[in-house]
Amino acid sequence: MEPLYLVAVIKPKIERADEVVEALRVMMARTRAENGCDFYDLVVGDDEPDTWLMLEKWSTRADWEAHMATAHVVAGNEAVADLLREPTELRFYSAR
């Protein structure tokens, strides 16, 4: 099976950014311990500080699907829903 690469584009309300970071830190710590999680990192560019990217690599798509059903992801997504300017955009990629 092929690994799954994912970029989640996150656009927090700037005045609530600290709350978003805290919720994502909790989710990141738990996610990194999951089976099939190769990396899971939150990054921000110098030229676009109000748009964040969660860079993810999963051993398989099934691992990612299991991740999305975990209690910490469901709770984390609910916690940040009202703290974002728009819904998170998910971009999926495959290795070449």
pLDDT tens, the chain, 96 aa long: 899 999 999 999 999 999 999 999 999 999 999 999 999 999 999 999 999 999 999 999 999 999 999 999 999 999 999 999 999 999 999 998
pLDDT at position 96 = 87
Q: Quote the pLDDT of residue 87.
A: 96
pLDDT recorded at residue 60: 96
According to the model, what pLDDT value does residue 65 have? 97
Contact yes or no for 10/88 (Cβ under 8 A): yes
Model pLDDT, residue 64 = 98
Question: What angle is formed at CA 31 by the lines to CA 58 and CA 74, rounded to 5 degrees?
Answer: 105
Residue 21 and residue 15: Cα distance in Å, rounded?
12
Q: Structure tokens of 8?
A: 């989640």
pLDDT for 82: 96
Cα–Cα distance measured from residue 90 to residue 75, given in angstroms and rounded to the nearest whole number: 18
